[in-house]
Structure 1
């Protein structure tokens, strides 16, 4: 039986609505359709309610998969060291580090950078284990190439994001790269290709790390979470080992110190060895410890307090006056930049850290040597290092005014050992970064390099000032300021120190860009919701087109 629909038109003087009378069969069908529609809406609501949980589970699974490769790499390394296969570690470790870094580079920019930092923290200790179990000290170990090789992978960004170098946000990095390439071409003539290429990598890969953070700014929340954990747990590990090393040097560290010939690091005896922890010497460890300590102040957990409590005595054990000065500058910057509530939290965190490390500071073997070391700051006429730096400034200040082109990369530091005339007077070791940069890069390169560094620092300062609530970015900038201040004593913008510097100055920029993007999306969403609400408020026409035509008054026919 076919359905019947009768349309009745009320008088226009009443309400003007169109009413439709339906058969019972039609009413039952529409009721079933309404029930089906309600079921679909309920299912959609349940999916919407469960989607956050599903996303959280998926994200947790992704994080677990990302740590499988680093954990497997660490397990293989430990197994080879336990079975005393140090010679095999020299080949497996750098190759495995390169493979894991390449895998993480494709999957997660933040986990890749965290892995590179862990390599800088632990690779020298792996080298000591390998030499100790081999029974022979290696002057040039392939293991030490692992962090540099892993960090150099981010040079692929120059190929995939080459146009970014011409944008305003990357101009400071572009200037630094041009200055470094200038020094490389000059160094190839004076020092040779091998020495210049070695120093080029040491000067350039920190800049590439900064460029990596710049172009992956959309991952800033992941950087915040992963890097903060890296600095907290990494600082805890190297600080705890540093305290243990100072109290009771292990045999592999004693073996390394005895054969390396580093007289400035002390002797391998309790309370007589400058703390280098898992790193190559006390200087790089002190810089890493300073950065970790400043970054832990941005965290809000008990583990950060414990790491800070161990970091202070470990940092004092390095006997590094320049790093303590950089730490003071970083703390002052934090107090200036943070708001009132964050300052109170920072003061409370520092008080807790001092309270935790106070038992170690009561040990006479620690306090006596530290006091004797740091008291030379007020007795500069008895400070040998100060006298040496004074002679360096006098000698090379006159040379820089005459040698405008510069000596080029490879004429200073470790690169000079690869130079063909490494024994000549042109190959020197600098105790001042402010002197090394113009000596190597000359006037043209120094102008480009200094302009890039100044632009980075100013931009980081302005950005962190505008976003004081981001304690992580502010702490990174504070660490960068502390590292830059130490340029008076040594070149801290290359190697591991350079990695920390460029990460620190890039974090505020990435954070601000991400915040602006999220604000733009939120504004667009509010506008879209407002448009949807406005369209929903408009009355929808009732009835079919034929029914509406019946309901409307008939036009007048002339």
Structure 2
């Protein structure tokens, strides 16, 4: 009887055979996808990094031990040095865990500073601890230097426009107020853009970004929400010490039910934007932790009393609801109604409901709202100045960088109550045209990419985060510092998600395509055995 030799599908594809069970459970497309470059994990790219969470946990554990030993002054130097060391190791070996660690540094470093100042017994207005997150995220600048040639690619075009605008404003600002103030401000404007470029370069790790960042936001948001609730009900001694020493009157009073919640971050504004982004990202998660986060996080977001973040959250929710398919839309509606039912009992407590309702009432009576009156007067004063100053004032003339100004004759503003006005005021006409074009192009590409991948809820949530943040530009500049980093992450994730999916499909088609030479050898083998 003639024997027919039929090779397995995995052998025809040229994939090394491991076991009968593996070949039986994997389709040819899955085998090709698993062996394609796009599906390589961080562990494949960095052998030896088996436990990436050990180093961050060790750093925070040592920091906590030193604080318990009342070594606040030692923490001021060891914490930034340790953060830079851990960030460097993760940067070299695990891109996703590196970015997750950077997020944790921005979440927790202000609280570490408060604890160090409290145990040391003195408020340090220029604490070295706050250098830690900036130094860690600055490592993304090495990626720019290493992959400078990728700036010529089409997908990096929006970032190129933004970077050119920033360096134009830096030159103008350095001439106006000196290099120190301009450089400090440039860092806060530039590092969110560098994070976006870092994501574009490391797009092959998108599944790891999906997993690590989602966990970082869920657990980080839960930790900050719980702490923020405790802070509102009964402020910790170190929080009260920080509030009185920093003299930030806008944050309220260090008494129970008297503080605007800032949790572990510097103030209620950055914390509200961060928590808003985390809550929106949690829509892509599964499991009980997402429900717990929503039940605690939504009331805490209300207790920040940051109305711009409330509005951004509403804008992002509306967008997410409109973009979801029918099934996910019903799930989102059920989640919103469920959260409303769970949060309702908490809002019946007078001490909790009073500040929230007062802020809502101020939105209805804008004529009696002091904040609205001040911002309205600000728009009238600076509208003409911002639009008629063709060259712009340059970086360093607004924000915290004004404290490093070398020229007292130049008009500077520490608090600029409008992001929409700050951009033309700082960058002038040339920089504004480039910067706004880059931001709009980034948003448009993120939207298009998310529409082509409707099943990727994580990437779609990123577009919602970006829209929620940019919609707050009417009130404050949300494209810099932590808020800016979250904006650029949200706007970049859909782009790298789409590229990862396309590269994977291309690898599958290439692997599934028949090999004429191999088919000829198979036919020859069958013919030989048949003849025998």
Which structure's relative contact order is higher, taking Cα pairs within 8 Å and 6+ residues apart?
A: 2
The separation in 2 between residues aligned to 1:329 and 1:397, in whole angstroms, is 25
1:350 matched to 2:336: yes
Matched, 1:91 2:77: yes
Which one of 131, 143, 152 corresponds to residue 166 of structure 1? 152
Could you list the per-position Cα deviations for residues 269-298 of structure 1 after superposition, in whole angstroms to 9, with x for gaps in the alignment?
111100000000000000010001001111
- 1:254-280 Cα deviation digits (max 9, x unpaired): 000011111011101111100000000
Indicate which of 455, 459, 484 corresponds to 2:441. Answer: 455
Partner of residue 5, structure 2:
none
Which runs of structure 2 are paired with 1:68-107 in the superposition (5 Å)? 68-107=54-93
Tell which deviates more after alignment, 369-378 or 440-449: 369-378
For 1:371-415, what per-residue CA distance to the aligned partner results, in whole angstroms no more than 9, with x for missing partners? 111211121111111111111111111212432101111011100
What corresponds to 1:556 in structure 2?
Answer: none
Query: Counterpart in 2 of 1:152?
Result: 138
Larger Rg: 1
Unaligned runs of 5+ in 1: 1-14, 18-42, 552-558
Q: CA contact under 8 A between 1:306 and 1:356: conserved in structure 2?
A: no
Q: Does 1:275 align with 2:261?
A: yes
Q: CA deviation at 1:356?
A: 3.2
Residue number in structure 2 paired with 1:402 = 388
Aligned mates of 1:337, 1:513 — CA distance in 2:
20
Q: What is the Cα deviation at residue 178 of structure 1?
A: 0.5
Question: Relative to structure 1, is the Cα distance of residues 406 and 509 closer, same or farther in structure 2, using a 3 angstrom cutoff?
Answer: same
> Structure 1, residues 186-216: CA drift from partner, whole Å, max 9, x if none?
0111111110010010000000001011111
The answer (yes or no) to whether the contact 2:109–2:133 under 8 Å persists in 1 is yes
Kept in 2, the 8 Å contact 1:416–1:422? The answer is no
- Contact 1:460 1:508 survives alignment (8 Å): yes
Q: Which runs of 5+ in 2 are unaligned?
A: 3-16, 27-39
1:310 to 293, 296, 301: 296
| Cα deviation code 1:165-193 (max 9, x no counterpart) | 11110000000000000010001111111
Of 317, 321, 324, which residue of structure 2 is paired with 1:338?
324
> Normalised by the size of structure 1, how large is the TM-score?
0.86
Superposed displacement of residue 485, structure 1: 0.1
Contact 1:173 1:207 in 2 (8 A): yes
1:44-100: per-residue Cα shift (whole Å, max 9, x none)?
536957999xx99x8899675211111111111111111010001111111111111
SS at match of 1:472: helix
- Distance in 2, Cα, partners of 1:535 & 1:520: 26
Partner-residue secondary structure (3-state), 2:284: coil
Residue pair 2:217, 2:282 contacting (<8 A) in 1 also: yes
Q: In 2, distance between residues paired with 1:307 and 1:62?
A: 34
The within-5 A match list for 1:113-512 is: 113-421=99-407, 425-512=411-498
Alignment size in residue pairs: 503
Q: Tell me how far 1:421 sits from its aligned partner.
A: 3.6
Deviations, residues 197-252 of structure 1 (Å, cap 9, x unaligned) = 10010000000001011111110000100001011111100001000100000000
The whole-number CA distance in structure 2 between the counterparts of 1:202 and 1:444 is 20
> How far apart are the structure 1 equivalents of 2:163 and 2:127?
28
> 1:306 touches 1:353 (CA, 8 Å); kept in 2?
no
**Counterpart Cα distance in 2 of 1:50 and 1:147:** 48
Show the counterpart of 1:45.
19
Quick one: structure 1 residues 61 and 364, their matched pair in 2 at CA, closer, same or farther if it must change by over 3 Å? farther
Q: Any idea what the Cα deviations from partners look like across 1:107-134, whole Å, max 9, x if unmatched?
A: 1111000000001111100000000001
In angstroms, what is the RMSD of aligned CA positions? 2.6
CA 1:125–1:455: 2 relative to 1, 3 Å: same
Are the structure 2 counterparts of residues 104 and 316 from structure 1 closer, same or farther at C-alpha, using a change threshold of 3 Å? same
1:28 corresponds in structure 2 to: none
Q: How far did 1:519 drift? A: 0.4
How big is the shift at 1:346?
1.6
Structure-2 separation of matches of 1:235 and 1:419: 36
**For residues 195 and 346 of structure 1, do their structure 2 counterparts lie closer, same or farther at Cα, with a shift above 3 Å needed?**
same
- 1: CA distance, partners of 2:516 / 2:324: 37
After superposition, what is the alpha-carbon deviation per residue over 1:285-332, rounded to whole angstroms, capped at 9, x for unaligned? Answer: 000100010011110110111011110111011001100000001101
* Distance in structure 1 (CA, Å) of the matches to 2:225 and 2:515: 52
Residues 1:62 and 1:477: Cα distance change in structure 2 (over 3 Å): farther
What secondary structure sits across from 2:244 in the alignment? Answer: helix
8 A Cα contact 1:80 1:89, kept in partner: yes
Contact 1:319 1:374 survives alignment (8 Å): no
TM normalised by structure 2 equals 0.90
Distance 1:518 1:336 in 2: 28
Distance 1:539 1:143, change over 3 A: closer
- Is contact 2:203-2:499 (8 Å) kept? yes
